[in-house]
Amino acid sequence: MNARSRRAHRLLRWLPSVGLALWPALASAHLVTTGLGPFYDGISHFFLSLDDVLPVLAMAALGGLQGAAGGRRVLFALPLAWAAGSLAGWMAGGPAFTQFVPALSAIVLGLLVAADRRLAPAVLLGLSVALGLLHGWMNGAVIAATNRGALALAGIACSTFVAVALAAAAVVALRAPWMRVAARVAGSWIAAVGLLLLGWSLRG
Amino acid sequence: MKRDPEPQAAVRASLAALLVAATLPALAHVQQGQAAGFATGLLHPVSGLDHVVAMVAVGLWGAQLGTPAIWLLPVTFPLVMAFGGFLGLVGVPLPGVEVGIALSALLLGLAVAFEWRPPLWSAAVLVGFFAIFHGHAHGTELPPGQSGLYYSLGFVVATGCLHAIGIATGLVHRWPSGRLALRATGGLVAAAGLYFLVGAVA
């Protein structure tokens, strides 16, 4: 089998999966709890909150673009900061500035991914900690306001760890130049969504 | 006899996708209108032909200009389009939006038809300039009760996909006959732009 037919074979292999993935059931993501306890509520809260997921993915991609060491830095710094921030938010409540945080996080991190510049390790670490503390704080305040157990915070922090691990590893593994460009394009899309989100936030 | 691993992998991937597709609805949140917002945003850019031809033309032109324009132009467009949407959302008026959109199709089509090769920065500025009109016109049309965030995501993803279609089509540029076909496609885009321009001015 030559390289060309192997490539065609590989593409064919994914066709059924792509076809089925394009035919999903309607996801009605609107209830308060999963019924599986606060830990799983935390997991579902994170993965269904796009305003948290997008900046986390951008941060993970930014770490991955810096190489394996950068990815590892984000992998441990972000969830730990998230856990600390959420605990603080859970105990102290929500500050007033949170309205614009998701949009600004998406804009800044998305643009950094799109730019694909080499960052100093301290800058990468600082961004991870800032993102974790701010978003974690908001999560903690929301969880406290809805009277859910603190275990939900652990679910959220674990989710961020898993999301960062998967996304950063995927980006670190990119070898072909066009795949790296694809990651940068994804960053620009995240920044664009953040800009529109900022508009929606200002509009009220 | 050793079995071929490729069909096995295909079966495994299909089963996994089938399980994903057959999942029950995820019930976990207090927000509303996410799915509808995303669907509206995703469909919005493809609902207007003026939008579609201009965004596909960005991809065509990028492919024709080659690296780095092939990815720089499609990165510039959604970002500046989002800025146009932002201006619309905060109430900054922009005159001649429909004329701007029609002109974008006309000029980008002409650029492809005549294989115009300006400096990279000026191509990016031209594309970015027109993106503001597209964003201002369409980035803010959210039906009541739907999620603005998910609408924005759908809108940006759809725009990117239209660019990708343009790029994929524009790759025919590497063959002599494809090069001619690409220029002819640019001519068609320009003709459509002229039609929209007449409609916008009249």
Residue B70 has pLDDT above 90, yes or no: no
Q: Is residue A42 domain-resident?
A: yes
Model pLDDT, residue B71? 82
Q: By residue range, what is the domain housing residue A187?
A: 37-203
Q: Considering only CB atoms, which chain A residues are within 8 Å of B82?
A: 191-193, 195-196
Residues in chain A within 8 Å Cβ distance of B91:
203
Q: Please report whether residue A8 resides in a domain.
A: no
Domain annotation covers residue A199: yes
- Please tell me the predicted confidence (pLDDT) of residue A189: 92
Higher per-residue pLDDT: B7 or A202: A202
Are B138 and B45 within 8 A, CB to CB?
A: yes
Could you give the CA distance from residue A29 to residue A42 in angstroms, rounded to a whole number? 14
Which of B31, B79, B91 lies nearest to residue A191, judging by beta carbons?
B79
Nearest CB to B79 within list A10, A20, A192: A192
Reply yes or no on whether the pLDDT at B91 is more than 50.
yes
CB A122 within 8 A of CB A68: no
- Residues of A within 8 A of B81 (CB-CB) are 192
pLDDT tens for residues B113-130? 999 999 999 999 999 999
Let me know if residue A155 belongs to a domain.
Answer: yes
Tell me the chain B residues in contact with residue A185 when contact means C-beta distances shorter than 8 Å: 71, 74-75, 160
Nearest by CB to residue B75, choosing from A9, A26, A185, is A185
pLDDT at A74 over 50: yes
Q: How far does A76 lie from chain B, in Å, by closest CA?
A: 27
What pTM value is reported for the model? 0.78
> Which chain B residues are closer than 8 Å to A16 by Cβ?
10, 13-14, 17
Q: Within a domain: residue A31?
A: no
Residue B202 C-alpha, separation from nearest chain A C-alpha, in angstroms: 31
Query: Which are the contacts of A103, defined by CB distance < 8 A and separation ≥ 6?
Result: A51, A194, A195, A197, A198, A201
Chain A residue numbers touching B28 (CB-CB < 8 A): 29, 31-34, 41, 44-45, 48
Stretch B170-190: mean pLDDT: 92
Which residues on B lie below 8 Å from A29 (Cβ)? 25-29, 31, 34-35
Kindly compute the dihedral angle of the four CA atoms of residues A129, A193, B86, B51, in this order, to the nearest 10 degrees. Answer: 160
Give mean pLDDT, residues B131-136: 90
User: pLDDT tens digit string along A143-194?
Assistant: 888 777 788 899 999 999 999 999 999 999 988 888 888 899 999 999 999 9
Distance CA B55, CA B162 (A): 6
A23 within some domain: no
User: How many domains does chain A divide into?
Assistant: 1
Q: What is the DSSP letter of A100?
A: G
Cβ pairs A/B, distance under 8 A: 150
Residue-averaged pLDDT of chain A: 85
Residue of A nearest to B148 (CA): A200
Question: φ and ψ at A176, to 5 degrees?
Answer: -65, 140
Element (H, E) at A141: helix A121-145
The minimal CB distance from A20 to the residues B14, B26, B78 is found for B14
Structure tokens at B26: 């995820």
Q: Which two tokens stand for residue A28?
A: 């009605």
Using the predicted structure, report yes or no on whether residue B27 has a pLDDT greater than 50.
no
| Whether residue A198 has pLDDT greater than 80 | yes
3 state SS of A151:
helix
- Residue A137's H or E segment, with its range, is helix A121-145
**B128 touches A at CB < 8 Å:** no
Q: Is residue A20 part of a domain?
A: no
Question: How close is the nearest chain A Cα to the Cα of B116, in Å?
Answer: 24
Give the model confidence (pLDDT) of A56-67 as tens digits. 999 999 999 999
Query: Given this model, what pLDDT does residue B26 score?
Result: 43
Tens digits of per-residue pLDDT, A89-132? 988 876 666 778 999 999 999 999 999 889 999 999 999 999 99
The Cα B101–Cα B123 span in angstroms is: 17
In a domain, A83, yes or no: yes
